[in-house]
Amino acid sequence: MTHADLASRIRAASHLTGQFTLRSGRVATEYFDKYRFEADPALLDEIARRMAPLVPSGTEVLAGLEMGGIPVVTALGRHTGLPCAFVRKQAKAHGTCRLAEGAEISGRRVLVVEDVVASGGQIELSTADLRALGAQVHEALCVLDREQGGADALAAAGIRLLSLLTAQDLQAAA
């Protein structure tokens, strides 16, 4: 499967038409439902296989962000053999009361994993939290960079964004 074939499969699985109210309140006739490519085991496995070579050398832990980054990081962990941490938006108030569950992150080089990046805001917030817990975070890896300023915003926060695909790749697959 080529890069273009993968983009086409992701677009076919995730592109919806109809009437959708967006977070901004705007109404759109097209929608990209990222959970649809994450819910397809064969497609998610292919995505993870292709993301594995993008993992920077020296990475010790993969940290998937709640919620969409969790299936991606789990699949990626299978292909890299690296342990995974599952990062909440807020530490839970019961049980372990942890922000990052799973693999230990303190003092380790951690790669943040996300499904789709638009502004990069959640990666920036979660990276700050992970760094406060002692993680060394320098990069984030996503399936799709929507090319809406996220890479630049993250760079300003000292985070290099790596992506498997871009919005341009999906547009070309249309």
Residues of each annotated binding site: 23, 88-89, 92, 94, 114-122, 146
| Maximum CA extent, the chain | 47
Which of 161, 106, 159 is closest to 132 using CA atoms?
106
Instruction: Work out the angle between the directed axes of helices 41-51 and 69-80 (0-180°, nearest 10).
Output: 60
Residues 113/140, Cβ–Cβ less than 8 Å: yes
Task: Locate 100 and state its tokens.
Answer: 């990052």
Binding residue positions for 5-phospho-alpha-D-ribose 1-diphosphate? 23, 88-89, 92, 94, 114-122
Binding residue positions for orotate? 146
Residues 129/99, Cβ–Cβ less than 8 Å: yes
